[in-house]
């Protein structure tokens, strides 16, 4: 900090109930993520001290937008750092109020003094700076309901003035909850599911089952583009592309058509589970939503889960399609998802697949198949793409 004066952004973080060790972990990872998020900007530095976090050097819209993508931030306010004197703080607050006065009628000053050695109390600051703002702008003070809030903070190592900012995305910093393996298809739901789990602090790896030549390069490129969008919120997002056509052909040739979707999904679970184990990942994530399609009835979800040896997180389980679409639009995956693509799960599948699979029949169908080393080969031949 060392006497820095100029523009910056004050970050406030949520989930304040976190205590002790968890709190430090939260803050360490948040700091790392903020540093990574602004790494392209050589005009700013990230500063963390006394449980506060700042970005110093700029407060422009692009920077605010970027910070708006960092999970764990509850809100961001543009701020101006100034000398720790009453004159400097008053002048800075007046300037800030003047810049915003045309869009406001009422305001309040919210001063906070954590440096108890500073001669003025927060009450003094509220009154003195408030009076100066009234005089300079003609705005009226209203403590309860105001159009503009101007904050003043006097700390041991800094003094700054901020004004009402933007809400952050909330959630937990990506990485505090560990890592999950997202089953990422080209559809609308799975990228949204990945986003929601990033929001709860999971870093993602992703796996895509590619049935080349039945599903073409376009389908694969689409998934890579979706992964690229999700990768804006975490440092690295490895995507494993698994060749799936041989397994689908095997199932087509040796199982009843009405069970195919479920058998595909069970094979996906096994392969995804093996990749997860290899990488020290302890959970799978899908975009499934209860009852949305035939393969997502409760019975069928259970039949899929039966083949997985890791917990499956399904953050969209209670979402309507319309809600998933709205979120997909907001995070920027929708336009990519709606481009037409081949879907491996509809390959060789009849119009009316089984909706209430009895587990014992599914298991029996699976057991009757000579799998050879198909599953192992698919795992071995998975290609890692770094979007
Ligand atoms: P999405 O929009 O995510 O494709 P969906 O509503 O179309 O979901 P399904 O096609 O039944 O539903 O797929 C359910 C879930 O299974 C997906 O959300 C995804 O997590 C996973 N999945 C399906 N196909 C693939 C695939 N080819 N590769 C990876 N995961 C897949
Ligand atoms: Mg799909």
pLDDT tier, 189 (very low <50, low <70, confident <90, very high otherwise): very high
- 211 pLDDT higher than 70: yes
CA of 116 to the centre of ligand 1 (A): 57
291 part of a folded domain: yes
For residue 182, the model assigns a pLDDT of 98
Choose the weakest-confidence range: 28-32, 73-77, 335-339, 353-357. Answer: 353-357
- 249 pLDDT higher than 80: yes
Using left for φ > 0, alpha for ψ between -120 and 50, and beta otherwise, residue 280 falls in left
Q: Are residues 92 and 201 in the same domain?
A: no
Ligand 1 binding pocket mutation candidate from 185, 191, 272 (most atoms within 8 A of CB): 185
Domain total in the chain: 2
Average pLDDT score over residue span 126-135: 97
Pocket lining for ligand 1, CB < 6 angstroms: 183-185, 187-190, 207-209, 286-288, 292-293, 295, 344-345
Q: Are residues 163 and 215 in the same domain?
A: no
- 17 pLDDT higher than 70: no
- Atom 9 of ligand 1: nearest residue by CA position: 288
CA of 185 to the centre of ligand 2 (A): 6
Q: Are residues 41 and 91 in the same domain?
A: yes
Residue with the bigger pLDDT between 3 and 368: it is: 368
337 part of a folded domain: yes
For residue 16, the model assigns a pLDDT of 60
**Contact assessment for residue 132 and residue 90, using Cβ atoms and an 8 Å cutoff:** yes
- 19 pLDDT higher than 80: no
pLDDT tier, 354 (very low <50, low <70, confident <90, very high otherwise): confident
Q: Are residues 163 and 249 in the same domain?
A: no
CA of 188 to the centre of ligand 2 (A): 7
Residue with the bigger pLDDT between 137 and 50: it is: 137
- 347 pLDDT higher than 90: no
Q: Are residues 295 and 159 in the same domain?
A: no
- 2 pLDDT higher than 80: no
- 294 pLDDT higher than 70: yes
Q: Are residues 99 and 231 in the same domain?
A: no
- 1 pLDDT higher than 80: no
For residue 164, the model assigns a pLDDT of 79
Closest ligand, as measured to the CA of 345: 1
- 340 pLDDT higher than 90: no
The CATH number covering residue 114 comes to 3.30.2130.30
Q: Are residues 14 and 137 in the same domain?
A: yes
Q: Which of 117, 145, 167 is the last residue of a domain?
A: 167
Q: Are residues 44 and 133 in the same domain?
A: yes
For residue 15, the model assigns a pLDDT of 62
CA distance 310 to 181: 10
Ligand 1 binding pocket mutation candidate from 182, 184, 187, 329 (most atoms within 8 A of CB): 187
174 part of a folded domain: no
Output the pTM of the full model: 0.94
What's the domain range around 242? 179-385
Q: Are residues 59 and 202 in the same domain?
A: no
**Contact assessment for residue 240 and residue 205, using Cβ atoms and an 8 Å cutoff:** yes
- 130 pLDDT higher than 80: yes
Closest ligand, as measured to the CA of 337: 1
CA distance 210 to 44: 42
Q: Are residues 380 and 343 in the same domain?
A: yes
CA of 230 to the centre of ligand 1 (A): 16
- Atom 7 of ligand 1: nearest residue by CA position: 187
Q: Which of 167, 200, 222 is the last residue of a domain?
A: 167
Q: Are residues 259 and 376 in the same domain?
A: yes
The CATH number covering residue 379 comes to 3.40.50.620
Q: Are residues 163 and 192 in the same domain?
A: no
173 part of a folded domain: no
Q: Per-residue pLDDT tens for 297-338? A: 999 999 999 999 999 999 999 999 999 999 999 999 999 999
- 276 pLDDT higher than 90: yes
Could you give the angle at the alpha carbon of 245 between the alpha carbons of 241 and 251, nearest 5°? 130
172 part of a folded domain: no
- Atom 31 of ligand 1: nearest residue by CA position: 185
CA of 284 to the centre of ligand 1 (A): 13
Share of the chain above pLDDT 90, in %: 86
pLDDT tier, 21 (very low <50, low <70, confident <90, very high otherwise): confident
- Atom 12 of ligand 1: nearest residue by CA position: 288
Residue with the bigger pLDDT between 347 and 251: it is: 251
1 part of a folded domain: no
Q: Per-residue pLDDT tens for 150-186? A: 999 999 989 999 997 788 999 999 999 999 999 999 9
């Amino acid at each position: 900090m060392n006497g820095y004066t100029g523009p910056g952004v004050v970050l406030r973080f949520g989930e304040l109930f976190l205590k002790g060790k968890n709190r430090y972990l939260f803050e360490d990872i948040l700091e790392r993520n903020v540093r990574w998020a602004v790494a392209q900007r050589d005009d700013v530095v990230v500063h963390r001290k006394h449980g506060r976090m700042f970005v110093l050097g700029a407060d422009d819209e692009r920077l605010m937008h970027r910070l708006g993508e960092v999970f764990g931030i509850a809100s961001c306010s543009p701020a101006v750092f100034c000398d720790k004197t009453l004159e400097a703080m008053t002048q800075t607050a007046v300037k800030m109020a003047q810049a915003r006065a045309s869009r406001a009628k009422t305001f309040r000053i919210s001063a906070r003094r954590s440096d108890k050695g500073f001669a003025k109390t927060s009450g003094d600051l509220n009154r003195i700076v408030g009076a100066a703002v009234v005089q300079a702008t003609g705005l009226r003070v209203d403590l309860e309901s105001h159009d503009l809030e101007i904050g003043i903070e006097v700390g041991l190592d800094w003094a700054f003035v901020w004004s009402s900012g933007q809400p952050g995305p909330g959630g937990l910093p990506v990485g505090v909850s560990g890592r999950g393996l997202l089953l990422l298809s080209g559809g609308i739901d799975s990228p949204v599911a990945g986003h929601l789990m990033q929001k709860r602090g999971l870093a993602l790896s992703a796996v895509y089952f590619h049935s080349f030549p039945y599903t073409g390069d376009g389908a694969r490129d689409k998934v890579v583009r979706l992964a690229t969008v999700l990768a804006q919120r975490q440092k690295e997002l490895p995507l494993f592309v698994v060749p799936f056509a041989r397994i689908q052909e095997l199932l087509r040739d040796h199982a009843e058509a009405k069970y195919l979707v479920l058998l595909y999904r069970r094979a996906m679970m096994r392969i995804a589970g093996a990749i997860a184990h290899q990488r020290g990942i302890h959970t799978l994530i899908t975009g499934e939503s209860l009852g949305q399609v035939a393969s997502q009835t409760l019975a069928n979800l259970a039949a899929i889960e039966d083949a997985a040896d890791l917990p499956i997180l399904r953050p969209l389980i209670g979402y309507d399609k319309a809600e998933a679409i709205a979120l997909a639009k907001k995070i920027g995956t929708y336009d990519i998802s709606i481009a037409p693509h081949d879907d491996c799960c509809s390959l060789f599948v009849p119009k009316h697949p089984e909706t209430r699979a009895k587990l014992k029949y599914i298991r029996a169908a699976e057991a009757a198949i000579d799998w050879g080393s198909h599953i192992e080969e698919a795992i071995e031949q998975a290609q890692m793409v770094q979007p």
